[in-house]
Structure 1
Amino acid sequence: MATKVWMPLCKQHPHNPPLSLSFILSPFQHMTMASSNTQDGHLDAIFNQKRALRTQVRKTLKAIHPSHRSQQDDAIQNIISESPWFKSSLRLCAYISCSALREVDTSKLLSQILQDPVSGGKKLYVPWVEDKNSHMRMLRISRIDDLIANSMDILEPAPIDAYGNAREDVMQANEPVDLFLLPGLAFDKSGRRLGRGGGYYDTFLKNYKDLANTRNWIQPLLVALSYSEQILDEGVIPMTSSDVPIDALVSPAGVIPITTAAINRSMVPLEVALKGTWIRGFSATTVNFPSSDTGML
């Protein structure tokens, strides 16, 4: 109950301070305000850490020689295309890489999905940014020509196809997505992902995971693509409750399954997976985990 305060029936003298709000707040309200201030301060600290880390990672990515980046692009895409979890996926969402952002290239993978007769049965959904408020949709495309450059010179599908029909939105699809191929600025082996700060992927992934739960679907496998230089030591990337962790990570060295879902789909012996060993294509036959991938920044 609020503390009663006697207030005189006269105007406040201009030289006297106004009555403090603290006199009319209950102890519970005091505690709530203090807790809120503490949480706000904690979030501010996390956002500042993320901002500084993004700056650092961008400098590192900029310093990678183009030929080395191209080699890593090829290696990562080859690993994915040869992986059983990719070959068996029927419906997947994948980002369209942007060289200006120094993202891991996905052009060969997308072409394979859309052109290769072996992959002919796959449905591919790619991002379309709806607005500047972290709203993004995943729309189905059937050919590379479905993509056009937006105002940021980033390729994305037009919401309406060449025949005047609305493209299929993955959130309205009748069947679940098996696999997400995700971009990011930095990652670690515990599943933490540092995005670019817009919140588009975290917002979309949370909404899709909620949809999958509602429809009793198996959750999709969330796989991030990463240059060696983007992989940081565990604990370096700060997290908030709105950050969605990944299930597995692909670098030129191979694949590391992180969650139980990734381990189950990889058919990797549990004792191997728990050691955080890099496994090429989720196969225990080739293990290659160079020290350069344990934390470059």
Structure 2
Amino acid sequence: MDTSAHIRALKRALRGDVRARLNALAPDVVKDESRKVLTHLFNLREYRQSESVSVYLTMTGGVSAEIETEEIVTDLFKREDFRSLPKNKWGIAEPPLEEARENALEKDGLDLIIVPGLAFDREGWRLGHGKGYYDRYFAKVAEWSALAGRPIPKTVALALAEQIVDTPLPREDFDQKPEVVITPAGPLSSAST
């Protein structure tokens, strides 16, 4: 087995293990840990100083437990219409496709990207859900920032305690590391608060 196939197999096995742990979490644990993580996020200097933020929306309905992000969206937009948005097939609230929304990469860029992940190691490396979306998104944003002469946005990941693994995650060349991983106990990295 070649090295990249071996790494992909390790990632696949780890994803299964972490999903099983997350699926075993009681909803009140997820809610409590989400509250703690969001308190740390809201106190993070990078969050407080950001004007343009990209944030993932919590998936519901049959997927693994993850940090509940609705409060972030409410805080950022200070709008009530978020709760009335229709949900897509993944249970994620989103505006109708025909509704015009500003694309930050077509205007002034982003200051902060809040990313999900399935697992994180103690060095802050991230294991995603296996589709490579955020690794490609980070690269796209970095390219746009360079062309626009803007700084690359800060990246922050949010994690439940069960998402932290003690051994280093298997990595490939394209894997991207968030600058800060926030857990219920606080940031894993040396982010300023």
TM-score scaled by structure 2? Answer: 0.90
Conserved 8 A contact 2:59-2:90? no
Equivalent residue for 2:14?
53
Q: Larger relative contact order (C-alpha < 8 A, sep ≥ 6)? A: 2
Whether 2:130 is the aligned partner of 1:197: answer yes
Structure 1 CA distance for aligned equivalents of residues 140 and 110 of structure 2: 13
Which 4+ stretches in 1 moved above 4 angstroms? Answer: none
Equivalent residue for 1:246?
178
The superposition leaves residues 193-240 of structure 1 with CA deviations (integer Å, 9 ceiling, x where unpaired) of 1111111111111111111122221111110000011111242x1111
SS of the counterpart of 2:77? helix
Structure 1: which amino acid aligns with 2:118?
L
* Equivalent residue for 1:112, pick from 69, 75, 78: 75
Structure 1: which amino acid aligns with 2:8?
F
Whether 2:106 is the aligned partner of 1:172: answer yes
Conserved 8 A contact 1:92-1:180? yes
* Equivalent residue for 1:152, pick from 61, 74, 90: 90
Percentage of pairs with the same residue: 29
Conserved 8 A contact 1:90-1:178? yes
TM-score scaled by structure 1? Answer: 0.60
Residue 145 of structure 1: how far off its partner (Å): 5.2
Structure 2: which amino acid aligns with 1:60?
R
The superposition leaves residues 23-78 of structure 1 with CA deviations (integer Å, 9 ceiling, x where unpaired) of xxxxxxxxxxxxxxxxx811111110000000000011111122222110111112
Structure 1 CA distance for aligned equivalents of residues 176 and 133 of structure 2: 11
Q: Which ranges in structure 1 are unaligned for 5 or more consecutive residues? A: 1-39, 117-141, 267-281, 283-297
Q: Which ranges in structure 2 are unaligned for 5 or more consecutive residues? A: none
Whether 2:1 is the aligned partner of 1:67: answer no
Aligned length: 191
Q: RMSD across aligned C-alpha pairs, in angstroms? A: 2.0
Change (3 A) 1:151 1:64: closer
Q: Which is greater in Rg?
A: 1
